Amino acid sequence: MMKTYDAYIFDLDGTVYLGDALLPTAGETITRLRQMGKRTVFLSNNPTRTREEYAAKLTRLGLPTPPEDVINSSYVMVDFLCRRHPKARLFPIGEASLENELRRAGFVLTDNANEIDVVIASFDRTLVYHKLQVGFDALRCGAHFYATNADKYCPVPGGGEPDAAAIIAALEATTDRKVEAVVGKPSRYMAEAILGLVGVPPER
């Protein structure tokens, strides 16, 4: 199989590493592919780190990686919004990393429900009731409803942490709205972003 393809895409959490440790054979496999001249890129549905932070972690674990070789769901969300709602005012239910990515792309964030154009459900370990209330109010006022990912939990050493699916479920249950798009894997939005990054035909 290693001789068949030109590019290899690796998930991160629970596949390449768990917590702060590489999983068995992951490092050796990726190093071998690179020695063979294969393109290796990484993706994650986890929006709580930037591409730069993921690249730094991989490098620290012994897999030197530039930020350009990483795609995560917050990066894909920014691209999605830039294409469809470039002037939208946003309310992300997520962590600082996602908020910073959105601001860096030029978006305005607000918690005024009457001004919000888009509510973003995401993995948020800083969740407080106020965030749900603002999201609830904005959706009832007609805001668009998107999510970075729909994972039920994020794997961590010893178990898992409730992920974005918990936020999506809470908003869907209380507003009778359904999330309009989830941009993380296995969506076509993530697939398009990855194919654009690797620069090889899908069959390769």
Question: Do 143 and 157 sit in the same domain of this protein?
Answer: yes
Q: Is residue 52 part of a domain?
A: yes
Of 189, 152, 165, 166, residue with least CA distance to 75: 189
Question: Do 79 and 177 sit in the same domain of this protein?
Answer: yes
Question: Do 29 and 127 sit in the same domain of this protein?
Answer: no
What pLDDT does residue 203 have?
Answer: 78
Token pair of 195 as six digits: 């194919």
Question: Do 178 and 89 sit in the same domain of this protein?
Answer: yes
Q: State the CATH number of the domain containing residue 191.
A: 3.40.50.1000
Question: Do 90 and 171 sit in the same domain of this protein?
Answer: yes
Q: How many domains does the chain have?
A: 2
Question: Do 95 and 141 sit in the same domain of this protein?
Answer: yes
- For residue 97, the enclosing domain spans 74-182
Blockwise average pLDDT, block size 10, the chain, 204 residues: 80 90 94 93 94 95 95 96 98 97 98 98 98 99 98 91 98 98 95 86 79
Question: Do 126 and 66 sit in the same domain of this protein?
Answer: no
